[in-house]
Amino acid sequence: MTLLSVNLNKIALIRNSRDTTIPDVVAHAQLCIDAGADGITVHPRPDQRHIRVDDCDAIAKAIKVEFNIEGNPFAPAKPSDRHGVSDYPGFMSLVERIRPAQATLVPDGDSQLTSDHGFDLSQDAERLAPIIATLKDWGCRVSLFMDPNPQDMVIAREIGADRVELYTEAYAAAHASGDYATVLKRYQVAAEAASKVGLGINAGHDLNLHNLPDFAIENLLEVSIGHALVVDALSMGLAATVARYKAALVKRG
């Protein structure tokens, strides 16, 4: 069974558009869990434009399902420029304090609107290896955000990753155009390579109710979905939307 982890970044983004605590991120995490979500994902960035440091602490204390914190492991500490918002302590310091079940490492930068590529392990493997070892010492399962390149799966395993999260924007774009078979095959080959070396497989980015049932990847353990799910919730309601995504996962493949 493929698990659904709901990314709460867009809930926090709505809150941050005003000087308010509404919508309450923790309360919405619980709404998702009550509706059947298997986990909660957040991706705090140094500028804290959506999920903030305090949100991570509050969610970790409140929820009883798997907590997944995404981010760039090389992101340093950054002082906050907003009144009442805690300083960003750096990704590794944040994870050390919270010890989430899963840490998903993503090579994003402050200038990116959202994550738009996976790690290039020909360049990043050497400096990622000790970070992965540290995270595992802290009790975190480690997933690397990766493009569907089969040759990189061996390296990911060699440097200690437990899972890869396949970056699915290319699949989503191809699906929207109506011709996705060739692109899907790339993901299937990459997933097969990952499984062959013992990596677990996650996936995320632009997955939605339309393309998720066709994402025929064997041994897919978890999807992380935020943007599309929150958009759908505007018309269907959050609980009903979570249920629809869970049903889409059952139909997948």
Active site residues: 43, 70, 205
Place of tokens 């360049």: 123
Q: At what angle do helices 238-251 and 227-236 cross, to 10 degrees?
A: 120
Proportion of the chain in helix, strand, coil states, percent, rounded to 5? 45, 15, 40
Euclidean distance between CA atoms 208 and 227, whole angstroms: 9
The Cβ-side half-sphere exposure at 193, using a 13 Å CA radius, reads 20
The Cβ-side half-sphere exposure at 246, using a 13 Å CA radius, reads 15
DSSP conformation letters of 55-109: HHHHHHHH--SEEEEEE-TT---B---STT-PPB--HHHHHHHH--SEEEE----
CB atoms within 10 A of CB 150: 15
β-bridge partners, 141: 102
Q: For the CA atoms of the chain, what is the radius of gyration?
A: 17
β-bridge partners, 144: 105, 164
In the three-class reduction of DSSP (H, G, I as helix; E, B as strand; rest coil), residue 182 is classed as helix
